[in-house]
Structure 1
C-alpha cells in the first residue's frame, strides 16, 4: 500500500506540501484552497484547480486517501467552546474542519504544519486542545519544531510539524542534513538581475548606515527588525506574506526576485510563476520550505512501511 499511497492537500496554498509528498510516491486525490490567486498558481503547476472554502466541503464527498496533509491557519479557540465542553472546543476554527474530515475518513496517517508560536499560543492552550482532539480520535501524535536551515535551504524558518498515526507506528523526525548538502545564498541568487528589483539610493544608504557589521561579506540578506537595526546573515529570515516591500534585501541593494523567493523555500526551478510580484511574494511567504516536508514525508513513509512489514511478520509468526 505504501508504495502507492493517496493523500489530500488541505489549505493547499501553492502546493509546497504536495511537492514534498509527491516526491515519495504519493498521489494527490483532492485539494482545497480558499485564496483564488494561490489557486491560479496551483493550477498552473499541478493541472487542477483546488476546491474552495474547506468549511463548505462535505467530508463524505472527499475521495478515500491514506494521508491527510494541511498547513492550517492558527486561530485561538473560543471561550464559548470551553463553556460547552470538549466536543465544541474547536468549533468555528479551521482546525475543526481538519478534525471532522479525520473523523469521517479515519486515514492511517496525517501531517499538519503550523507556525512555531502554536506551542505558545494562548498560553499553550491552543496546542494542548489540538493534541487532545487528535488523540481523542485515536491517533498517536508526534510534534516537533523544525528549522528550514537544517534541511538544506538558506532560510531561518521554524515551523511545528504535527504527525499522527492510527496505529502505534515507530516514528522519529528527520535528522538535519549535513552542512555539505545545504544550499547557500550563492547557490540560489540569480545573476544579471533586472534594475526594477533594486531599491532607491535613499533606501540603500539608510540601510547601509544602520547595518550592524559594515564589513560583512557578500552575498548576505539583511532584514530590518522592529527597532530599526539592520542585521546581515548568510541566509534569509523567514519569508513573510504581509511584510513591507523592503523587509528583506539582498546586500542591502535589492529585493529578491520571484524565482529567488521560490528557491529560498526550496521550490524547483521548473515551478511556474503566473502571478505578479506582490502576489508571488505573499504566496511564498505563506508556503512551506519544501525540503523540510520532503524529509518528514520520507520518515513517515519509511516508518509506515516498517510497521506494515512488522505486522505481516507478526501475523505470519502467530499462524
Structure 2
C-alpha cells in the first residue's frame, strides 16, 4: 500500500520528487506562487494542488486526518544568512512556521518533515528553531533536528539545509545513521548536456554521445532528450568579464578596469561571478542568474537544465512560468536526491 503525503509551501516540488522516488505519493500540495504551483501540477498530475495563501486553507477540507507524512519548508528569506536585508524579526515570512504547526495539529500525520535554510537554526539566537521543535513536541511528537549537506548524499552541490523530523509513535529519526554517498562533481552531472552560447534557448537538444555514469543514469531514466536548455542573455561586457575567471574563482580574477562601474568592491560577495570547478560539487544553486554563476568551461551563465541537474531534478521534470520564475523555482528547491535519502530512512524506521 502506497504511503500518502501532504506537501505544504511546496514550491516546484523538490521534496515531492524525492518522496516519489522513495515510494511516497503526495495527494495534496499547497503553494502560493502561481508559477511554482503550475510547475508542481505539471509534474505531479495526480496531486491536488492548491494555489492559495496557506493561511486561508483548512487542510481537512481537502484531505483526511492521519496521512503518513506532512512535509514542507516555510518561506526562508527571513532566515537566510546570505540575505541581510530581510534577516530580521519584522519580516512577516518569519512567522509562517506557525502555519506549518497548524497543519501538523489539524492533520496529525504519522511523520512530519520540516526543512529550511541552515540560517534558521541560528536565527534570533536559535530561539525560532527551539520554538518550532518545542511546539511540535507539545503536539505529542518525538523529534530530532540536524543540518545535512546535499553533496554527502549524491547531489553535485554543497548545499546545506536544516531539518526537524518527528514521529507520533515515539520513533526517533537518527541523522547520524544516514549513509553517505560518493561525491558527484559538476562534470559528472552536466558533461552530457549540449554546448550553448550566451542567451541561447535550445528547448529540445541532444545528449552528447558516449558520456555516462551512475548519476546521469538517474537523471536520464525517463528522458531521451534534454529539454529547457535555456541561458539568460548577459550583456557583452559581462561576458568579457567571464573570460578572465578561472574554475573555482570569482570576481577577483576580473581586471579592475573592467569593474569600473562598481563604486566599490569591498563588500562584494565571494559567490558573485563564480566559475564552477568541474571537478567539485557546485556551490549552492540559489538565485544563480542574479549571482552570475558561470559554466565551468564555457563563457556564459548556467542553463536552466544545468541548474536543475545540479539540484538533482531528473530530466523529465519540466518548469513552468516566465524564465526568471523557473530559475527561482530551481534555486528554492530541496534537492530531490537528498529528499529521497531522508524519506527512505523514514520508511525504514517506520517498518521497524
TM-score band, normalised by shorter chain: 0.7 to 0.9
Query: Against the structure 1 CA distance between its residues 223 and 11, is the aligned structure 2 distance closer, same or farther, given a 3 Å change threshold?
Result: farther
Query: Against the structure 1 CA distance between its residues 287 and 25, is the aligned structure 2 distance closer, same or farther, given a 3 Å change threshold?
Result: same
Asked if 2 retains the 8 angstrom alpha-carbon contact of 1:41 and 1:274, the reply is: yes
Q: 1:183 Cα deviation (Å)?
A: 5.0
Asked if 2 retains the 8 angstrom alpha-carbon contact of 1:18 and 1:28, the reply is: yes
1:146-193: CA deviations, max 9, x gaps? 1111111221111011110112214322222123xx354343242222
Q: 1:302 Cα deviation (Å)?
A: 0.2
Distance in 1 (alpha carbons) for counterparts of 2:274 and 2:307: 20
Segment of structure 1 superposing worse, 273-282 or 262-271: 273-282
Distance in 2 (alpha carbons) for counterparts of 1:299 and 1:184: 26
1:26-58: CA deviations, max 9, x gaps? 121211000001111112111256211111011
Specify the alignment match of 1:29 in structure 2.
Answer: 27
Provide structure 1 residue ranges, at least 5 long, that are not aligned to the other structure.
Answer: 81-89, 307-319
Report whether the alignment pairs 1:206 with 2:245.
no
Specify the alignment match of 2:348 in structure 1.
Answer: 302
Segment of structure 1 superposing worse, 48-57 or 129-138: 48-57
* 1:267 alignment partner, one of 292, 309, 313: 313
Give TM-score, length-normalised by structure 2.
0.73
Distance in 2 (alpha carbons) for counterparts of 1:293 and 1:129: 24
Q: 1:19 Cα deviation (Å)?
A: 1.0
Distance in 2 (alpha carbons) for counterparts of 1:19 and 1:126: 28
Segment of structure 1 superposing worse, 143-152 or 269-278: 269-278
Paired residues in the alignment total 285
Q: 1:200 Cα deviation (Å)?
A: 4.4
Give TM-score, length-normalised by structure 1.
0.80
Report whether the alignment pairs 1:53 with 2:53.
yes
Q: CA RMSD in A?
A: 2.9
Segment of structure 1 superposing worse, 270-279 or 196-205: 196-205
The structure whose residues are more often helix, as a share, is: 1
1:260-279: CA deviations, max 9, x gaps? 11111101111123333212
Asked if 1 retains the 8 angstrom alpha-carbon contact of 2:14 and 2:313, the reply is: yes
Segment of structure 1 superposing worse, 40-49 or 259-268: 40-49
Provide structure 2 residue ranges, at least 5 long, that are not aligned to the other structure.
Answer: 80-87, 200-230, 253-267
